[in-house]
Every structure is written in structure tokens, then in C-alpha cells.
Structure 1
Amino acid sequence: MWWRWCWLCLKMIYKLFCCTISLVFFCFNVLWFFCNLAIPWCTLTLVAICVASKFVKLQRSPNEKRLLSLLNTPDDWPNYWPIANRGAGYDAPENSQAAVKKCLARGYRNVLLDAGITACGEIVIANRLTLERAGLTGNLSHHTLHELQQLSITEQHPMGSQYDRESVSTLKQLADFLEEQNMPPTLFLHLQDTSALMIDQLQKFMAANETFTQRTVVISRSPLAIYQLRKLRPEIICGLWHESYLSLSILKSSTLITSIYGAILRNIIAPVIGISVVFLNKEEFNLHIGDLWRNVGVRPIVYMVNSPNEKRYFQKTMKTQYLTDSLRSEPHLLMKA
């Protein structure tokens, strides 16, 4: 009897072997067929990704009109171009209420501020540089709110003596401060932390503060963080902070790879996560790149632009808004001087 079982096992192994060989030959024939048709595998992969992205992409921000109203040209044309990085951190203590107040007093309404999260789960307006200047180590997430509010962010600034002592603000304190202003600014909130806790706390805060949400554009380096945030709150306007191509070694080796990477970023990632603005390095920006982003419905903004000549170039030739550390070097102010 045992020999019959052995015979059945051998037959099963033989059939399995034959099926495996058939599958290998089938795959080989398919590969040979596509190669003879000269269809690059990378093209097939991109087509598959494009098809898949149609099923997972988020709706473009329904607040396009609100975005245009936030960034639209005001009556005072020169003040439209600059976005004050960290509240124009060269002119006043960065990420401070005093810096925002100075921007508004000058007539500039576009302000970018950094946001991080503490060890106790509180969103604060600060970055790692603030800690380093105060002699603290590690990220904001390594310190509690009580520790951070013991610091004076004005003392470490070169022009800090001109301002009253100010501690690190929470997001709630910033929102209350902006609400008190006669003409609240358009706030670009740059997330320095993209953890799940940060996304959860931010979406809860913005859900409970509609007025703040209406005037805020959330900026992040992480497409995944933007996707998660907009999936929870589609009404939030978001932007992508794009690092320099030169920072990625693989992109230095080939113009083709750089082009493919840019196409994926613009035509797949941007529609999937539903961004409205993108921050690009000034050294890698030109009219063609600007048009490519505008064609997919995304407004390009360049960083960092501090020279008066560069500012004039982006105003007159590129017609693109820019991020700057100082508002004292605006061309129209120097021309008046």
C-alpha cells in the first residue's frame, strides 16, 4: 500500500514541477513580447502609478477662491510679493509676535512661522534654532511647554534689545494674537514636526478655530503628512516645501532622472495630496518650471530671496512670490531711500 502513496506523491511533485516550468516560460514570453515592442518598463510602471493615483487622490482644495483672496494682489502692489520668513527673522526676533506686529505695521500681510510640538503634546511657534541659541539640545519634542516658556526668544536675537521680553507662543496664543489685529495676516504655518501626534493635534485645533483656519496655509516637507491632514480635514489649504534637487545625490547624476522625479512630483504626488502652493529653491526655478506647476493648479513660491536685485528679478521677470528673511531690502523701499 505504501508504494501507491509514494507513486501519488511523485505524480504531484511532477505536476507541480511542470506547472512551475510553464509559468516561467509564460513570464519569459511576456517579457520577450514587451521587449520586442520596445515598451520601457519604467513607462509601464508610471502608467500603473498614474492609474492607481486616480483612486487614492484627494479632491483639490475646495477653497481655491479663498486661497486667491489670501494671496491676491492688494491695493498696495509692492507689498504683495514678499512672504516674511519667520516674521522677517533678520529684522526682529524670529517666530515672535513682535515680528508679526512689525510686518503688519509695515503693510506686509504674508507671514511664515514655524510650528513644532512639545513633549507634552502642545503645538508651539518655534524651531530648533531657537533652542540652540538658548543652549538647549534636541528637538522641540524633547522639551515640555513649561521649559520652553522659560526662554526669552528676544534675548538671543541681534536686535533683541529693541523689543520687550517674549517667550515661545503656543498655537492658541498665536491665534488669539492674530484675532486682535485690525488686519490679520495670511499665515503660512510651516510644520517642523510631521509626527502622527502633530497631525492629530493640528487638525483638532483647526476644526475648533474656523477663523484661524480660513487665513492659514499649512506647509510641510512631507507629502504623507499633508495627505493625512487633508484626509481628515479637506477644507485645510496645504502647501509642499520642496527640498533642493541638489540635496539628493541620485538626482545629480542624470538630467533624465531629475525630469522624471519632477514629473512624478508635479503630476502624481501634487494631485494625490491636493496641495495648492509649493515652495521651490530659487536656484532651480525658472519660467518653464513655474509654468509646469501652474498648469497643474499649484502656485509656485521661491525661497530664500534676500538680495534687492534678486527680489526685483522675481517681481519683474518671474512674477512669482518669494520667501524672504528681511523686509528692509525690498526694492521699492530702497528706491525711495
Structure 2
Amino acid sequence: MLQLGDEVTLFSVVFVLLLLGTRSPLWTAVLTASLYLFLAMFRFPQVPVSRARQVLRPSRGAAGSGKVSVIAHRGGGHDAPENTIAAIREASQNGAVGVELDLEFSADGVPILMHDETVDRTTNGSGLLSQTSFSELRKLDAAAKHRLSHKFAGEKVPTLEEAVEECIRLQLIVYFDVKGHADEAAAALNALFKKHPVLYNNSIVCSFEPKVIYRMRQSDPEVVTALTHRPWSLSRLGDGTPRFSSPWKHHWLTLLDVVLDWAHHHLLWRLCGVSAFLMQKNFVSPDYVSFWSQRGVEVVAWTVNTAVEKEYYQEVLKTNYITDSLVEDCDPHY
């Protein structure tokens, strides 16, 4: 939970900003108090630290008790076709403590694993995922575009249920990366948690969209959750180049990026009551880890892919990280 000093600072800033905008001390006080009341009434508390730690610092696996957890990104998309059962098994064999998996839905509403909005990049098919039925997805080769397609030829797009059951069998922690569809995702995950109660101590629900996490906590406040973030994500691509050629649009989105970043670090995380914060690796530092540690939140960095980076996170930052490969250096996806 936010410490008293943090709350005083936060609402002092809000008070000053509102005062500058309204020029009325009375209305400023009313609006500030309303914001405070809103947060007090509608925010979710973090799950107990002891249970969050079972997920974020598990005693089993290669990391060992309380040590750094290495999570295979999309199951380890460099070592096997991403978001497949083969990737989950490969990650386990290579010593991963857990896997990060992308939750999406077929056109007929079946929860599946896939990262993109289309099937083009990872399969031998083409078209929008939202227009492809599960029966059609099942006919595709999920290994077709992978560098090791000869080894994993014929791998299928798995259902969420199939992937979860395999993770439970292999005793892997699951990072559910929810791409959107807040209501549908919350319903699907809620059903899974009821069917497999072990997930309460074995998984964490993550998303770039705060609405998804808030909806998940509404659906089941006992689920461990995390917000995912990359500064300047609205105005710039992952490599730093502007998303839009229009200077006006670029500057406007840059301003929105500043607001979004502030909201993630001072407002949204406690409104949702998250236990972890998944941050793009380039923005993680000792001070950043300390910032979140003081608030009872674990930092998990993504996507850490070189030997030098991995050593830094394991030996210096001692922070969990997500990687595309557990066996070699590789180019990052972002």
C-alpha cells in the first residue's frame, strides 16, 4: 500500500494543479477530496505479500527460494514456436521458472494463445484473428515461420486451457499477458482459476491496459496482478522512432505519454492493487527497483536477451526478468 508520505505528496500536487486551474481554493479542496474519496472507495488492496511472493519468488525451479526468476517470453519464442505447447515444454527443459503467455480469442470466442492481431507472422495462414474460427486456427501450422520449423513442424495453436494444464503439469509459473477484451479475458481466467485453484499461487495476470487489470480484480480480488508499461509507448515505437510523421500528433501523444507514465507510477498501480510492475528493460535501474520495493511491488524486466543483460539482472539488480531464450543470445522482439 502507498505510504502516508506518498499520499501527502500526491494529493498536495493534485491540490496545487487544481488550484492553478480553477483559481478557487474551495473548489480545489472539493475536487481533491473527491479524488481521495474515489481512490479510497474503489481501489483494490494488494494480495498478501506472502502469496504474491510464491508467484514472484517461488522456492521451486532453477531460481531457488527468493532468488531471481527467469520467465520465458511467449514460452521462449527463440527456442521454440512462441505461444505453443512445444515452447512451454522447451522452456521447462531449459530451466525456466515460468512462462509468459499471450491470451487472445478466436472469432468464435475460444480463449487461445497468440500475440498478434493476425495469424500471418507465426503461422502458415493469413488474416485477422478476430475473423478466424478456432477450427480454422487448429488447421494452421504454428511453427511455419519459426527458425526451427523443421524441428517443430505441425505444432498447433493451443487453447488457453491446454496451455495452463501443461504449465501445471510442469510446475511452471504462468504470466498471463492479456492483450485486451477485458470482460472476456476476466471471465475466461476466472473460470480457469475456479477449475485449477493452484493458479492462485502459480500465476499472475498482466496487461498494458489498466482496465484489464482492474476488471480482473473486480472479477476475483484474490488473483495476483501486474501492470505492464513502456514509457513513450503512445508516441514512439519500440526502437524509439516516432509513430506518426505529423509533428502536431507526435507532440500531443508525447504529452499524453508523460501523463500516462505519471499515472502508472502514482495512481493506477494502487487503484488496481498490483503486486508487480513489468517494465521495459531499458528503463530499469537500481533506483527504479528501489522505488517500487518501497511500495511493496516487484519489478519484472522485459525483454532481457543478452548474456550481459542477464548477468546484470541476476547479479546486480537481483530482479526477475523475461527472456526470449534461455540457451543463447538473441535479438529482442521490442
* TM-score past 0.5 threshold: yes
| Equivalent residue for 2:53, pick from 68, 90, 102 | 68
Q: Could you tell me how far 1:198 is from its partner in structure 2?
A: 2.7
Partner of 1:163: 152
Conserved in 2, the CA contact under 8 Å of 1:266 and 1:296? no
| Counterparts of 2:131 and 2:119, CA distance in 1 | 11
> 2:130 aligned to 109, 126, 141, which one?
141
Per-residue CA deviations over 1:266-314 (Å, capped at 9, x if unaligned) read 3321111111111111222222222222222211111111121122222
Quote how far apart the aligned CAs of 1:44 are. 8.2
Aligned equivalent of 1:198, options 162, 168, 185 = 185
1:114 counterpart letter in structure 2? D
Match of 1:83 in 2: 71
Kept in 1, the 8 Å contact 2:178–2:212? The answer is no
Deviation, 1:52, is 2.1
Cα distance in 2 for residues equivalent to 1:91 and 1:266? 34
CA change 1:36–1:225 in 2 (3 A) is closer
1: CA distance, partners of 2:301 / 2:133 = 34
- Paired residue type of 1:283: N
- Cα deviation digits, residues 22-46 of structure 1 (max 9, x gap): xxxxxxxxx89x8598x996x9866
Gaps of 5+ in 2: 1-18, 236-249, 330-334
Cross-structure match for 2:142: 153
Partner of 1:17: none
Is it true that 1:58 corresponds to 2:48 in the alignment?
no
Change (3 A) 1:56 1:250: farther
- Relative to structure 1, the CA distance from residue 264 to residue 253 in structure 2 (aligned partners, 3 Å threshold; closer, same or farther) is closer
* CA displacement at 1:227 relative to structure 2: 0.9
CA distance in 1, matches of 2:114, 2:43: 32
1:118 partner amino acid: S
1:102 corresponding residue in structure 2 = 90
CA contact (8 A) 1:199 1:228 kept: yes
Residue 105 of structure 2: aligned partner: 117
Q: 1:73 to 1:203 in 2, by over 3 A?
A: closer
Q: Structure 1: how far apart are the matches of 2:118 and 2:151?
A: 18
Q: Distance in 1 between matches of 2:169 and 2:283?
A: 39
Partner of 1:303: 302
SS at match of 1:317: helix
Q: Is the 8 A contact 1:82 1:321 kept in 2?
A: yes
Asked whether the 8 Å contact 1:154–1:165 carries over to 2, the reply is yes
After superposition, give the CA deviation of every residue in 1:137-190 in whole Å (9 maximum; x if it has no partner). 22x232111011111112221112123522111112123323433xx1001011
Alpha carbons of 1:57 and 1:156: their partners in 2 closer, same or farther (altered >3 Å)? same
Give the conservation status (yes or no) of the 8 Å contact 2:84–2:163: no
Aligned to 1:217: 204
TM-score (norm 1): 0.76
Q: Structure 1: how far apart are the matches of 2:27 and 2:282?
A: 32
1:188–1:219 Cα contact (<8 Å) kept: yes
1:145 to 1:253, Cα distance in 2 relative to 1, 3 A: closer
1:323 maps onto 2:311 in alignment: no
- What's the secondary structure of 1:239's corresponding residue? strand
Q: Which moved more, 1:84-93 or 1:171-180?
A: 171-180
Structure 2 CA distance for partners of 1:250 and 1:73, relative to 1, 3 Å = farther
Partner of 1:288: 287
What is the distance in 1 between the residues matched to 2:97 and 2:205? Answer: 16
What do residues 56-99 of structure 1 show as CA deviations (whole Å, max 9, x unaligned)? 1112224x322212332647448844211011101111111111
Indicate if the aligned counterparts of 1:199 and 1:225 stay in contact, CA closer than 8 A.
yes
- Within the candidate set 239, 242, 250, 2:229 is matched to 242
Which one-letter code corresponds to 2:283 in the other structure? Answer: E
Aligned pair in 2 of structure 1 residues 169, 301: CA closer, same or farther (>3 Å)?
A: same
RMSD (Å) for aligned C-alpha atoms: 3.1
Q: Paired residues, what number?
A: 291
Answer with 1 or 2: which has the greater Rg.
1
Matched, 1:92 2:84: no
* Contact 1:213–1:236 (Cα < 8 Å) also in 2: yes
CA spacing shift, 1:176–1:323, aligned 2, 3 Å? closer
Contact in 2 for aligned 1:123/1:171 (Cα 8 Å)? yes
> What is the alpha-carbon distance in structure 1 between the residues aligned to residue 139 and residue 76 of structure 2?
23
Contact 1:123 1:202 in 2 (8 A): no
SS of the residue aligned with 2:100?
strand
